Homo-oligomer: A and B are copies of this chain.
């Protein structure tokens, strides 16, 4: 089944996660505390792929189909926990993300932060 980013809504991904959890009656395990731990565990597994390489070398992973598959899996794992948490707490992820980007745009004005991540860096 192909569900590309171009045509898939966030609600459809949330619904897929909701079904997966519901079919297993896993809602009792899906407290916000546990789901946030799960997201952190999976984010660390994602990071482990890049532990010993330099920044530039980490970009070369795109040339390695095997590693790209593993990394896509880890990214998906983090996303699954995030969307499960949005389901548990009834948080709209798209609105939350657009609102956070607007906050960050104020915090990091483009003309001051162009090419730098801190002002005196």
**Contact surface of A with B, Cβ cutoff 8 Å:** 1-14, 16-17, 20, 23-26, 28-29, 31-34, 36-41, 43-56, 58-59, 61-62, 68, 71-73, 75-80, 82, 85-86, 88-101, 103-105, 108, 110, 113-115, 117-118, 121
Contacts and interface: CB of A to CB of B under 8 A. Distances in A.
B117 A96 contact: no
Contacts of A1: 98
Contact of A91 (B48, B68, B90, B104): B68
A77 B1 CA distance: 29
Contacts of A44: 40-41, 43-45
CB-based closest 5 A-B pairs:
A44-B44, A76-B100, A33-B58, A31-B55, A8-B94
Contacts of A62: 89-90
A41 B43 CA distance: 9
Contacts of A101: 16-17, 20, 76, 80
25 contacts: A3-B94, A3-B98, A6-B11, A8-B94, A13-B97, A16-B97, A24-B110, A24-B114, A26-B117, A28-B115, A31-B56, A33-B58, A34-B58, A36-B43, A40-B44, A41-B48, A43-B44, A44-B45, A52-B117, A52-B121, A54-B55, A72-B100, A76-B96, A77-B100, A79-B82
